[in-house]
Amino acid sequence: MSGAVDSADRGYFHPVAPELFSFIEGAVGGKNISTMIMGRERYPINLRYMRSFRNSVDALSKSRVTMPNGESVPLDNLARISIHDGPTEIKSENGRLVGYVYINTENRDLGGYVEEAKSQIEKSVKTKPGYAIAWSGQYANLEHARARLYWVIPITLLLVCLLLFMHFKNFGKVLLVLLCLPFSLVGGVWLIYLLGYPVSVAVVVGFIALAGVATEFGVVMLLFLDKAIESFRAAGKLTSAQMLREAIIQGAVLRLRPKMMTVSVIIAGLLPVMYGQGIGTDVMKRIAAPLIGGMVTAPILSLIIIPVVYLWWKEKLLSQPSNRT
| pLDDT digits 0-9 by tens, 267-311 | 888 888 888 787 777 888 888 888 888 888 888 877 788 888 888
Q: Which of 55, 84, 113 is the last residue of a domain?
A: 84
Our count of domains for the chain comes to 2
pLDDT class of 16 with cuts at 50, 70, 90: low
pLDDT, residue 323, reads 52
pLDDT, residue 319, reads 64
Domain that holds residue 266: 149-324
| Percent with pLDDT over 70 in the chain | 90
Residue type, 230: E
Same domain for 77 and 154, yes or no, is no
Residue type, 262: T
| Partners of 43 in the β-ladder | 36
Same domain for 75 and 153, yes or no, is no
CB atoms within 10 A of CB 209: 17
pLDDT, residue 9, reads 45
Is 214 inside a domain boundary?
yes
73 DSSP 8-state letter: E
Residue type, 10: R
Same domain for 156 and 69, yes or no, is no
C-alpha–C-alpha distance, residues 163 and 310, integer Å: 20
Is 140 inside a domain boundary?
no
Is 139 inside a domain boundary?
no
Is 311 inside a domain boundary?
yes
Q: Is-contact 185 207, C-beta < 8 A?
A: yes
Is 275 inside a domain boundary?
yes
| pLDDT digits 0-9 by tens, 48-100 | 888 877 788 888 888 877 777 777 888 788 777 777 777 677 777 777 788 88
C-alpha–C-alpha distance, residues 292 and 192, integer Å: 10
| pLDDT digits 0-9 by tens, 231-266 | 877 877 767 778 878 888 888 888 778 888 888 888
